[in-house]
Amino acid sequence: MNLWAKQVLTIARLEVRKAFLSKRGLWVYVLALFPAVIFLVHGFDVKLKRQRWSSQITDHALLEGVQAGETASDVRMRLGPPLMDREFGRRRRGEDGERLEEERYRHLRYFDGQRRYDFHFTNGVLKEKFEQPLATLEENSQVFAGVFQYFYLRLAVFFGCLGIFMNLFRGEMLDKTLHFWFLAPVRREVLLVGKYGAGLVAAAVIFGAGTIVTFLAMLWGLDPADVQAYWQSAGPGHLFWYTVATVLGCVGYGSVFLAAGLLMRNPIIPAVVILFWEAINGFLPAVLQKLSVLYYLQSLCPLPPPVDKEVPAVMRVLLAPAEPAPAALAILGLLGVTVLVLWVASRAVRRLEVNYATD
Amino acid sequence: MSNEIIFSEVSKFYGEVLGVNRVSLNVPPGITSLVGPNGSGKTTLMNLMCGLIHADQGTISVRGMSPRDPEKLMRSMGYCTQFDAAPRGYSGYQFVSAALLLHGYSAAEADERTWKAIDRVNLREAAHRKVAGYSKGMRQRIRLAQSIAHEPEVLILDEPLNGLDPLVRAETIALFREFAALGRHVILSSHVLQEVDVISDQVILIANGSIIAEGQIHNVREEMSEHPSQFLIRCPDAARVASLLFAEDHITEVRLHADRMGLLVLTRSRERFSHLLNEIVLGGQAIESIVQADANVDSLYEYLIGGGR
């Protein structure tokens, strides 16, 4: 094996344990697994409700047949005892402004095995009827797409890579151990690649695993038949592209924060600048958009994030790339940005001096 | 290819603070000591040689290699720094073997060389303990082990004898001599001047970032013709001898010992002082002994730093 390749592997092997188990970096695991915990709690709640409500399933056709204007006692008589029956009163001023009138409210809940039905009565008469699936694949997929793009890529992978990659050189400066590496017969560029490799393995494993666990947690509370159908259709593709986007996020942000750690002492400054750059990227000309990691990552996501109709047009631009790049172009573009940033980092590491007194 | 370490007009500034200023040096193989007070620029010179910092002006050549090429340079160089920390969580064994693996040695060869180096500094028992838990002397020794493990041609040691007990100190000095005897460079810094005096082939005196003297210790002394030499004289009639000495203009100071049988004499001319002593003896004064009082670096250094007082 070529000496440089051997040295890169040796450096990566020596550094990877530190990248995984650094005390400074334990919060990275929290970031990576936070969405999975949320989905697990949600899935657990869905499973619990389904189990609890399954003893009182009401016929779907009967529930659909309930119309506005019916009385609560009629509905109860036709559908049987509900899952929930709440009643309360509220006093309000009458039209004359003096007399207090009392209104009686009642809320009945039924379950047809998949959906829950909520009937709201005012003074005994049905005013509103809500129907909501307990949990659906479509809904969960939308939520996952939103969580993945708004939280995972923009914040978790972003700050996780900041924590892992900024530490690779800056952490050595703080620990006063950088000279150990600089006194080895290793080209500085080889050292950079070895350390980057170690950081990348750690970040990709932590966040890639986080993505996979979150994806599985998202499916956990759903109807097994729906899940099976999903795995036989779009599921594997979605999981693959989400994982690819995560790993490429680590590749891109990793290079950016590695370079930032070499060029700057305070990690907050590059973090704020890069976060700002990524946030305003949607407003920039197409050429500048391509100098953003997020642009390529969003292009790779299999589902667009849900955008509420009430969200202003300006915000919509922020939330999705104006013109997503094709997958191959997105991957090549991101790798291109990474190579460019690593080249800048290699220039910086060649100039870097061990001067702990000033760090 | 030159086998010397050459500094040509090298300057280094830390912002506006002077590190070293227009240093020109030719360091031949053997044991060379850098001597100077704290902040004089000793460590800066060593760091420049190893490429840990870069010169703002001038050029450095280490046996024909540039410090900007660590891949080539560090194969032939070992640097025992003053930086106390080892990578987090490393044991003494890992500290040495990791460096050898980076040299490209196979795992088996790195293991063999690691144990050899650890044995040379007598740390086998503690080899698998974390470096962070070592005493200061042990950390010094493991750094030394790491710097010699690949048998470098140039061994640089920043205050290498700090924190070592007398036995280990003697063994370490023997190791330096062993290295130097093979035609290698051993460059060390120390503020314990007596140690440097005893073990060095060459000495480089540095103050405020500038070289104030370099060469073999006795040659340095000769070059400093204005440096007053000190002699201790024992004689029965010290007061009379003192008066005879004081009549000469090259004698700058004479101190009479409390027992009135001894003298401390400072002279600007060793040669004329030698002639004068002959005349005094021939004139009938008894001289029991003459000892040069300042034949170590300390006095020379004090003299040079003190501006020739």
pLDDT at B229 over 80: no
Q: CA-CA distances (angstroms) from residue B116 to B74, B145, B198?
A: 19, 9, 27
| Inter-residue contact B301 to B191 (CB < 8 Å) | no
Chain B environment of A193 (Cβ under 8 Å)? none
pLDDT at A219: 93
Domain boundaries, given as residue ranges, for chain A = 3-47+136-358, 56-133
User: What sign has the CA pseudo-torsion A71, A75, A81, A83?
Assistant: negative
List the single range of A133-137, B96-100, B135-139 with lowest mean pLDDT: A133-137
Left, alpha or beta for A269 (phi > 0: left; psi -120 to 50: alpha)? alpha
> Contacts of residue B99 in chain A, CB cutoff 8 Å?
180, 183-184
All residues of chain B having their beta carbon less than 8 Å from the beta carbon of residue A177 are 83, 85-88
Nearest CA-CA distance, residue A337 and chain B, Å = 28
**Cβ within 8 Å, pair B50-A10:** no
Quickly list DSSP for A315-341. Answer: HHHHHS-SSPPPHHHHHHHHHHHHHHH
What is the CATH topology of the domain spanning A56-133? Beta-lactamase Inhibitory Protein; Chain:B, domain 1 (3.30.1450)
Cα Rg of chain A, angstroms: 27
Higher-pLDDT residue of B1, A89: A89
Is residue B298's pLDDT more than 80? Answer: no
Task: Give alpha helix (H) positions in chain B.
Answer: 42-50, 70-73, 92-103, 107-120, 136-148, 166-181, 193-199, 217-223, 238-246, 270-282, 297-305
Q: How far apart are CA A12 and CA A19, in angstroms?
A: 10
Q: Is A102 helix (H, G, I), strand (E, B) or coil?
A: strand
Task: Give the pLDDT of residue A359.
Answer: 46
State how far the Cα of A132 lies from the Cα of A109, in Å rounded to an integer.
Answer: 11
* Residue B308 pLDDT > 60: no
Q: What is the percent of chain B where pLDDT is above 90?
A: 46
In chain B, whose CA is at the least distance from the CA of A7? B102
- Residue from B14, B77, B88 whose CB has the most chain A CBs within 10 Å, to mutate: B88
- Of the candidates A274, A287, A277, the residue with the CA atom closest to the CA atom of residue A325: A287
**What is the rounded average pLDDT of the residues B136-151?**
93
Q: What does the mean pLDDT of chain A come to? A: 88
Residues of B in contact with A184 (CB under 8 A): 70, 74, 99, 102-103
Give the whole-angstrom CA distance, residue B63 versus residue B298: 30
**For an interface test with B, which of A15, A22, A183 has the most B Cβ atoms less than 10 Å from its Cβ?**
A183
* pLDDT at residue number B192: 62
Residues of A in contact with B47 (CB under 8 A): 354
Amino acid at A185: P
For A112-129, what is each residue's pLDDT tens digit? 888 899 999 998 899 999
Residue A184 to residue B72: CA distance in whole angstroms: 10
Most confident among A13-22, A129-138, B90-99 (mean pLDDT): B90-99
What's the whole-number average pLDDT of chain B? Answer: 86
Please write the tens of the pLDDT for every residue from A193-215.
999 999 999 999 999 999 999 99
Name the CATH architecture for the domain at B225-305: 2-Layer Sandwich (3.30)
The predicted structure's pLDDT at residue B102: 93
Contact: B86, A3; criterion CB under 8 Å: no
**Closest approach of B262 to chain A, Cα-based (Å):** 50
Domains B5-222 and B225-305 share a fold: no
- Look at phi and psi of residue B104 and say left if phi exceeds 0, alpha if psi is from -120 to 50, else beta: left
Rounded distance between C-alpha atoms, residue A321 and residue B131, angstroms: 51
Sort out which chain B residues have CB atoms less than 8 A from A3's CB and list them: 104
pLDDT digits (tens, 9 = 90+) for B23-77: 999 999 999 999 888 888 999 999 999 999 999 999 999 999 999 999 999 999 9
Name the more confident of B258 and B227: B258
Residue ranges of A 181-200 with Cβ closer than 8 A to chain B = 181-188, 190
Structure tokens at B291: 């000892």
Q: What is the mean pLDDT of the segment spanning B103-125?
A: 94
Banded pLDDT at B155 (limits 50, 70, 90): very high
Of A116-130, B74-88, B239-253, minimum mean pLDDT range: B239-253
Which residue of A14, A175, A179 is in closest CB contact with B98?
A14
- What pLDDT is attached to residue A109? 94
Position A315 confidence tier, pLDDT thresholds 50, 70, 90: low
Question: Would you state the pLDDT for residue B253?
Answer: 84
Lookup: tokens for A194: 């070895």
Would you place residue A21 in the very low, low, confident or very high pLDDT band (cuts 50, 70, 90)? confident
A14/B contact by beta carbon, under 8 A: yes
* Nearest chain A alpha carbon to B83: A176
Helix (H) or strand (E) holding A180: helix A178-182
Which numeric CATH code is attached to B5-222?
A: 3.40.50.300
Q: At residue B294, does pLDDT exceed 90?
A: no
pLDDT tens for each residue of B264-292: 888 878 778 888 888 888 888 888 888 77
3-state secondary structure (DSSP) of residue A148: helix
Say how far apart CA A65 and CA A108 lie, in whole Å: 15
Cβ atoms of B16 and B188 within 8 Å: the answer is no
Calpha distance A154→A318 (Å, rounded): 11
* A:283-342 residues touching chain B, CB 8 A cutoff: none
Question: Within an 8 Å CB–CB cutoff, is residue A9 touching chain B?
Answer: no
* pLDDT at residue A283 greater than cutoff 90: no
Q: Where are the domains of chain B?
A: 5-222, 225-305
Residue in the structure block whose two tokens are 């010992």: B257
Q: Of A200, A216, A321, A192, which Cα lies nearest the Cα of A250?
A: A200
pLDDT value of position B164: 78
**Distance linking the first and last C-alpha atoms of chain B:** 42
Residues of chain A neighbouring B104 (CB-CB closer than 8 A): 3, 6-7, 185
As a whole number, mean pLDDT of residues A306-332 equals 71
The ipTM is: 0.77
pLDDT at residue B287, rounded to an integer: 85
Largest Cα separation within chain B, whole Å, is 77
d(CA B78, CA B171): 18
Looking at the complex, report in whole angstroms how far the Cα of residue A130 sits from the nearest Cα belonging to chain B. 59
- Residue B126 CA from chain centroid, whole number: 29
The pLDDT of residue A232 is 94
Dihedral angle sign, alpha carbons of residues A66, A71, A76, A77: negative
Structure confidence by residue, pLDDT tens digits, B176-200? 999 999 999 999 998 766 667 778 8
- Whether A143 shows a pLDDT value over 60: the answer reads yes
C-alpha distances out from residue A146 to A131, A248, B81, Å: 23, 18, 52
pLDDT of residue B296: 57
* DSSP H/E element including A356: none
Do the Cβ atoms of A182 and B52 come within 8 Å? yes
Pairing of strands B77-80, B57-62: unpaired
On the question of pLDDT at A144 being above 90, the answer is yes
What is the C-alpha to C-alpha distance for residues B196 and B190, in angstroms, rounded to an integer?
7
Select the residue of B50, B72, B88 nearest A18 (Cβ to Cβ).
B88
Cα B142 from Cα B139, distance rounded (Å): 5
The single-letter DSSP state of residue B295 is -
Closest CA to A43 of A163, A223, A181: A223
